[in-house]
Structure 1
Amino acid sequence: MRECHEGKLQLPDFQRGWVWDQDRITDLLASISEGFPVGALMTLDATGEVSFAVRPVEGAPSPSKDIEAYLLDGQQRMTSLYQSTYTTVPVSTQTVKKRPIKLHFYFDIRAALDPDVPRSEAIVPVPEDRIIRENFGRDIKLDLSTEENEFEHLHFPIDRMFEAHIWNQAATAWIYKDLAQRAEHLKLVNDFMQEVVNNFTQYQVPVIKLGKDTSRAAVCLVFEKVNTGGKPLDAFELVTAMYAADEFHLRDDWKERRKRLVSSQPVLDKIEPVEFLQAISLLYTKEVREAAAAAGKEPPAISATRNSLLQVPLSAYQKFAPKVEAGYIAAAKFLHSLKIFKARDLPYQTQLVPLAAILAELGNAWENDAVRQKLARWYWSGVFGELYGSAVESRFALDIRDFKPWLSGGAEPQTVQRASFEERRLRTLRSRLSAAYKGVHALLMKCGAEDFKSGQPYDQAVFFDENVDIHHIFPQAWCKSVGIGPEIYNSIVNKTPIASGTNRMLGGVAPSSYLGRLTKGNDNNPAIAPDRLTAILQSHEIEESYLHADDFEGFMDDRRQRLLTIIENAMGKEALKEAEVPSDHDEEDYYAEEELEAAE
C-alpha cells in the first residue's frame, strides 16, 4: 500500500481502468480479514530495457518517489485495497448494475466477531457522507459521519485500517465514559483488533517479481495469461505505453490517421490499429532483413506477429506510418476497381494488411497495368483459395517477401501458387460470412454485371445510390413453393448483385413472370427490349432460356460452370472439377469456418 501511495509501484499506462463493483470489493476485504488467500501479484522491475508510460494506482496522489516496479497483475485487487484501506477519500466504484457510486466501507464489529455471520455480511458500505438513509432519504438509519458515532455504533472505518491503533486509542477513551457498557464494548473492540485488524496488518501477499532483463515478448505473454478474465490487452495498447515513455502519443496519432482513412473510404471502415501496426512491422522487418543480408549476416525473418509488433521502435513507426497510410488509401482505390466498396463486402479484413504493405512499398508503381493485373491475381487467389481465415501472420510475411520480386520475373507468390478452388465449393457458399461468397459477388460486378431494371453497371455511385446487394435469381418464395430446399436455393449460384428497388419489383414470382414484367413495362417502368434484357442477363453469367422455362436445375448446372470460368480467369488457373475431387474428401471441408459456426 505504501509503495502505491509513494509511486514506487505504478501501473503501465496500457492497463485498463479499475472496474470492480462494491460486492467484489466486499468479498476481497472479507477474504483478507479472515486470512484467506487472494492470489499473487506480479511486478516487473522498472529499471530494465522494457519501458512504459505509467500512472499511479487510481486514487493515489502524484508520485513522491521514483518508480521501482510496474504492477503487471493485480491491478483491481491493489486498487480496491488502496482506496478502501489506505485513504479516507471515498472509493469510486459501481453497483452490480454498473451505476457509478462513491462509498466508504465499515466493519460492524459485533457482526465481524459473530461466527454465525458470514464475514462479507459484517462489511457495511455507506454513502460518501457516511450516513445511511431510508424512507426515500427522509430518515437516518445509521449515522457514521463523526468518530464518536463510529464508537457509539461499534463500526470500524476500514479506510483507517493502517492507523487502527490511533482509532483504537480514541475509541477506548470514549468507551471508558460509558460505565454501563464499558467492559462489553472494550472486549469487543480488543477482540476485533486481534481477530480482524491483525489479519490485515500482518497479511502477506505472494509477489512474482520479473527482473529487469525480462523481454518485451515475455511481458506480452504475461498479459495474454493474466487478462483471461476480461478483454485481453492487444499489442496496440502495449506499444502505446512503450512509445508514451518517449512522449509519443500513439493513440492520438492513430485516431487522426484512422479518421483520414475512413472518412472517404467506407471499405476501410473496420480497420483496426493492430492491423496498421502489422503492416508497419512487415515493412520494418523486411528492411532489417535486407540490411542484414547486404551485410553478409544471417537475415532475420519478416514478421507481423504480436511479438514482432513489440519490437518495432518508435523511429520505425514514424518512418513507415505515413507510407502505410498511403498504402491503405491505395488499397481502397484498388478494391474499388474490383467493385468492393464497403467493409461488409470485403472478403477478408485480414488480407488488407499485406495489401496495404505491398502498395506502400510499390508507391505509384502499382497503377501500372501489368502490376495491377498481378495484384488482382494475387488478391483473387487469396479470396477464392480462402487463405486468410487462420494462421495469417506467416502468410503476410510470404506475401511481402514474394510480391515485388514476382514483378521482376521472380517466382509466383506462395499465395498464388497454393491457392486452389474446387467446383463443388460453389454448392456450399450460402452466406456472406464466407470470403469466397463475397468474392463471387464482387467478381460479378467487376466482370460488368448490369442492373436488371436500369441496365446500369455497378460503379461506385450506382452501388451506393441504389443500395446494391446480393439477391436470389430464382426467388425464395418461388423455390419454397415448388419444394426446393434452402440448402440449394441459397447457394451463391442462385444469387447475383441487384439494386434493392429492382429486387422489390421482381418480387417472389417465377423468373418467367418477372422477365415478362421487364419486357412489357408499365407506367413507372418502361419496357426493356428483349435483346437488351438478354445482354443484361448475360452480364450476370445467366443463360436467359432457363429463366423463361423456370428450369431451376438446368439453370444451376449452367451457371455453376459460368461462375467457375470467371473464378478461374481471376485466379489464372483451372479449378478442381467435381469429378476430380478425391472420393474420401470430407464434404465438411467445403464449409468455411464461419459458415460452420453459423450453422451451429
Structure 2
Amino acid sequence: MALDSPKLQDVLKQIHSGVMQLPEFQRNWKWDDQRIRELIATVTLNYPLGVVMALETGGEAQFRARPLAGVQVEGLPEPSALLLDGQQRLTSLYQALYLDRPVETVDDRGRELTRWYFMHVGRAIGSPADRDEAIVSVPEDYRVPSANGRGVALDLTTIANQCAAGYFPLNIIFDGKRLSRWRSAFEKADSANEDLWAEFEERVVDNIKSFLIPMIRLDATTSAVAVCSVFERVNTGGVPLTIFELLTATYAGNQAFEEANRDYYKLPDAWTDIKKGLATAHPVFGNIDLSIENGLTSSDFLQAVALVRTWELKQHRPSTAISCKRRDLLALPLQDFIDLSPRLRDAFDWVGHFLSDQCIVSFTDLPYRSQLVPLAAVRAILGEDANEPAILALIIRWYWCGVLGEMYGGSTESRFTRDVEQLVAWRDDRSGVPDTIAEASFVADRLDKLSTRNSAAYKGVIALLIKQGAHDWYYTEDPLTAATLGQYAVDIRQIFPKQAQVRLGIPLAMANSIINKTPLSERASRSMNTQPSNYLRVLAAEAGRRRSWYDDVVRTHLIDPAALHRDAFDRFYNDRKQQLLKLVQSAMGKTTLAYEEQGASPR
C-alpha cells in the first residue's frame, strides 16, 4: 500500500483514457446538483477533498472493470488501476470540469437534470465564504428561464454572452486552447476585465490546475477478499454491497474462464436460470415476477454451495472448518461454483418436493427460509441416501424440531455448520441426534401465544394440521393437499368467529390464538359468520352430509365437534390445545414442557 498525491488533471486524464476504471461491483453514480456545486467550490478554494483509494491491477484480485460514468472511448484499454473509493467525487469533477457534454444529475427532489457548470468571475474573487454562490448550473441549452417562466433570465449560449455576463464555463478549464480563446474574448469585452481575469486566474484557475488528490494505492498483490473488505469499510456512505454483487465482479474478471470460453462468466445469468427453474416448479421458493430475489435468495444458494464445498474440503483436510460465513463466500473459486451449482440446484429441487410433502407450498407459509440452506446442503452431500427411510425420517424430525422449537430465528451460521455435519454423520453413526433435535423444546402454553404468521411455529402447526389429514369443511370428500390449498383458496380461519366471540365474551387473546384457528377454504368461510352451532348445520347441509358424518370431517382438524355444537368455547379450547400439543410432540419426537409458569390454562 502506498500514499500518492497526483494532480487532479492527471487523474481526470486517466479516467478519460480508461487507464483508471471502476470494478464492476461499484454501483452507478449520480450526485445531486447542489453537491456538485459544493464540490467544485472545494476544489477552487484548494480545500482538502478527502482521500480516494485505488487498486493496482494485474494481481490475484481479478475484477471485471467498467469506465466511470460519462467516459466514451473506443477500444477501451485494460485499466492499470481500479477506483475503490471516491467514485462520486471524481465522476462529478470529471463530468463538470473535463467533458464537453452537460452533466446528468438530479435536483434535491431526485428529478433528472442536465446541467453545465459556470463560475461568475467577479463573485469568485470575493470572500472565500461566498465561493458557493459564484458557481451556477444552467440547463443543457445554456438558457436560464426567468422566475415566471415566460422569458430568459440568463443566456449563455455564446462566448460573447458568457463574457458579457461574466460567467466562465468550467468544462474548458483543462483545455488550453479553448481557455485561451475565452480569456481573450473576456478581456476584449471590457477594459477592466484584464485585471479581473488576472485575479480570477490566481484565485481559481491556478487552484484547479494545481489541485492534488490524496490517493491510497493498494498493491496488485492484495487479495480479492481483502479488496472487498476494504471497499465495504470505505463505502460507508453508499448502499452496502451484497456478496452476490462482489462475486459477480470477481467471476466476471476471471481471465482463465474468459480465455477458455471467449466470454466472461455472468453470475447473474446463471442464478436467474437456477432461480426461475426452482420457483416455477416450487412456488415455495418465491415469485420471480416480483423479483428474482423474492423468496430464496442468491445468498441462500451461495451459502449452500459454500457448506458443501467446505464439507468436502474437510474430508481431505480435517482441520478445515465447515462454514458459510462471508469470508467463505468471497473466497469461493469460480470453478468450484461451476462444479457445485448443478448439485445444489438439484438439491433445492429435492427440498421443494420435501416441503410439499410437509404441506408447505407457498413462500408466505414457509416457516424459515434460512433452514433451507443446510437442508439443501445435506441433500447435496448425501445424494440418494437422503431418501433412505431412516435417514429421511431423521431429516423430517430435524426439520420440525427446527420449526417448532424456533431454532432458526436468530444467528444461524453456526447452526448451519453443526446441522450439516451432524445430519451427514448420522448416516454412518446413528448413536446420537443432531443438536437441533436435542436442544429443541416446545412449551405447552406457547400455543396460547401463537397468533400470527410472524411466528415460524405458527406456520408449522398449520402445516402439520394439513399434513395429518385435515379435510375442508365445504369440499369435504378428500383431505387437503398441496394442490388443493391453492385451488380452494385455503387460508387460516377462526373457528369461533368474531360474532361468536362478542356473543360469548371470549377474551381477545384466546380468540386470536392458533388454538381457535384452522386452515379452511374461502367457500367454507362464507358460511362461518355466526356461532359454530349454527354454521355447522349450514355447512353439513351444503356438503350433503348427515351430522354424524360431518362431525368426522370436523374431527380431522383435531376439534371436538360436540363442543362446537354446544358453543362451549372453554371445552373446545382446552381439548384442542391438548390435541395440538400431541401433534407437536409427534412431529418433534419428544414431549413438550407443561407451562412456562406454574398454573393452569389461560382461562
TM over 0.5: yes
Measured in 2, the distance between the counterparts of 1:333 and 1:75 equals: 46
Measured in 1, the distance between the counterparts of 2:485 and 2:538 equals: 23
SS in 1 for 2:188: coil
| 8 A Cα contact 2:448 2:515, kept in partner | yes
Measured in 2, the distance between the counterparts of 1:229 and 1:482 equals: 57
When residues 248 and 553 of structure 1 are mapped into structure 2, their CA distance, relative to the original with a 3 A threshold, is same
Q: Which residue of 2 aligns with 1:467?
A: 489
Measured in 1, the distance between the counterparts of 2:444 and 2:186 equals: 89
Residue 255 in 1 paired to residue 280 in 2?
A: no
For 2:570, give the aligned amino acid: E
When residues 408 and 99 of structure 1 are mapped into structure 2, their CA distance, relative to the original with a 3 A threshold, is same
Q: Which residue of 1 aligns with 2:358?
A: 338
When residues 559 and 225 of structure 1 are mapped into structure 2, their CA distance, relative to the original with a 3 A threshold, is farther
Residue 177 in 1 paired to residue 197 in 2?
A: no
Measured in 1, the distance between the counterparts of 2:525 and 2:326 equals: 45
Match of 2:342 among 307, 319, 322: 322
- Report the TM-score when normalising by structure 1: 0.89
Q: For 1:377-456, what aligned pairs fall within 5 Å after superposition?
A: 377-410=397-430, 411-455=432-476, 456=478
- Report the TM-score when normalising by structure 2: 0.88
Measured in 1, the distance between the counterparts of 2:188 and 2:53 equals: 48
Measured in 1, the distance between the counterparts of 2:128 and 2:57 equals: 46
Deviation per residue, 1:170-221 (Å, 9 max, x gap): 244224434xx311x2333332222233333333333333333433333333
| 8 A Cα contact 2:173 2:179, kept in partner | no
SS in 2 for 1:92: strand
| 8 A Cα contact 1:111 1:117, kept in partner | no
Measured in 2, the distance between the counterparts of 1:341 and 1:462 equals: 11
Shift of 1:18: 1.1
Q: For 1:220-259, what aligned pairs fall within 5 Å after superposition?
A: 220-246=228-254, 247-259=264-276
Measured in 1, the distance between the counterparts of 2:347 and 2:239 equals: 30
Q: Which residue of 2 aligns with 1:593?
A: none
Shift of 1:482: 4.2
Measured in 2, the distance between the counterparts of 1:485 and 1:125 equals: 65
When residues 417 and 219 of structure 1 are mapped into structure 2, their CA distance, relative to the original with a 3 A threshold, is farther
Measured in 2, the distance between the counterparts of 1:30 and 1:478 equals: 71
Shift of 1:452: 1.5
| 8 A Cα contact 2:537 2:547, kept in partner | no
Residue 518 in 1 paired to residue 543 in 2?
A: no
SS in 1 for 2:410: coil
Deviation per residue, 1:233-287 (Å, 9 max, x gap): 0111111111101221111111111111112311011111111111111111111
Shift of 1:74: 1.7
Higher deviation after alignment, 58-67 or 493-502: 58-67
Measured in 1, the distance between the counterparts of 2:184 and 2:158 equals: 15
Q: Which residue of 2 aligns with 1:47?
A: 58
Measured in 1, the distance between the counterparts of 2:552 and 2:208 equals: 83
Q: For 1:298-377, what aligned pairs fall within 5 Å after superposition?
A: 299-377=319-397
Measured in 1, the distance between the counterparts of 2:123 and 2:151 equals: 23
SS in 2 for 1:334: helix
Shift of 1:468: 0.9
Deviation per residue, 1:158-180 (Å, 9 max, x gap): 212323x64553244224434xx
Higher deviation after alignment, 94-103 or 369-378: 94-103
When residues 473 and 118 of structure 1 are mapped into structure 2, their CA distance, relative to the original with a 3 A threshold, is farther
Match of 1:58 among 46, 58, 69: 69
Measured in 1, the distance between the counterparts of 2:454 and 2:324 equals: 25
| 8 A Cα contact 2:491 2:522, kept in partner | yes
Measured in 2, the distance between the counterparts of 1:228 and 1:138 equals: 44
Shift of 1:225: 2.8
Measured in 2, the distance between the counterparts of 1:262 and 1:280 equals: 18
For 2:497, give the aligned amino acid: P
Q: For 1:544-555, what aligned pairs fall within 5 Å after superposition?
A: 544-555=561-572
Measured in 1, the distance between the counterparts of 2:211 and 2:147 equals: 40
Residue 288 in 1 paired to residue 310 in 2?
A: no
Measured in 2, the distance between the counterparts of 1:110 and 1:484 equals: 80
Measured in 2, the distance between the counterparts of 1:124 and 1:103 equals: 9
For 1:326, give the aligned amino acid: D
Residue 91 in 1 paired to residue 103 in 2?
A: yes
Deviation per residue, 1:19-41 (Å, 9 max, x gap): 32222222322333334444322
Q: Which residue of 1 aligns with 2:158?
A: 146
For 2:395, give the aligned amino acid: L
| 8 A Cα contact 1:223 1:233, kept in partner | no
SS in 2 for 1:177: helix
Q: For 1:208-223, what aligned pairs fall within 5 Å after superposition?
A: 208-223=216-231
Q: Which residue of 1 aligns with 2:577?
A: 560
Q: Which residue of 2 aligns with 1:588?
A: none
Measured in 1, the distance between the counterparts of 2:69 and 2:199 equals: 33
Q: How many residues align?
A: 568
Measured in 2, the distance between the counterparts of 1:202 and 1:546 equals: 89
Match of 1:276 among 297, 301, 314: 301
Q: Which residue of 1 aligns with 2:22?
A: 11
Q: Which residue of 1 aligns with 2:133?
A: 121
Deviation per residue, 1:112-139 (Å, 9 max, x gap): 3444984333322222232334589774
SS in 1 for 2:54: strand
For 1:23, give the aligned amino acid: Q
Measured in 2, the distance between the counterparts of 1:19 and 1:442 equals: 48
For 1:577, give the aligned amino acid: A
Measured in 1, the distance between the counterparts of 2:569 and 2:44 equals: 74
Q: Which residue of 2 aligns with 1:589?
A: none
**Which 5+ residue runs of structure 1 have no aligned equivalent?**
294-298, 584-600
| 8 A Cα contact 2:403 2:460, kept in partner | yes
Measured in 2, the distance between the counterparts of 1:441 and 1:231 equals: 38
| 8 A Cα contact 1:227 1:233, kept in partner | no
Measured in 2, the distance between the counterparts of 1:529 and 1:187 equals: 107
Deviation per residue, 1:513-560 (Å, 9 max, x gap): 2123223x2xxx244322222222221111122222222233222222
Higher deviation after alignment, 533-542 or 137-146: 137-146
| 8 A Cα contact 2:474 2:543, kept in partner | no
For 2:22, give the aligned amino acid: L
Match of 2:170 among 135, 146, 158: 158
Shift of 1:464: 0.7
For 1:557, give the aligned amino acid: N
Shift of 1:350: 0.8
Q: What percentage of aligned pairs have identical amino acids?
A: 38
Q: For 1:488-507, what aligned pairs fall within 5 Å after superposition?
A: 488-507=510-529
| 8 A Cα contact 2:278 2:349, kept in partner | yes
Residue 200 in 1 paired to residue 208 in 2?
A: yes
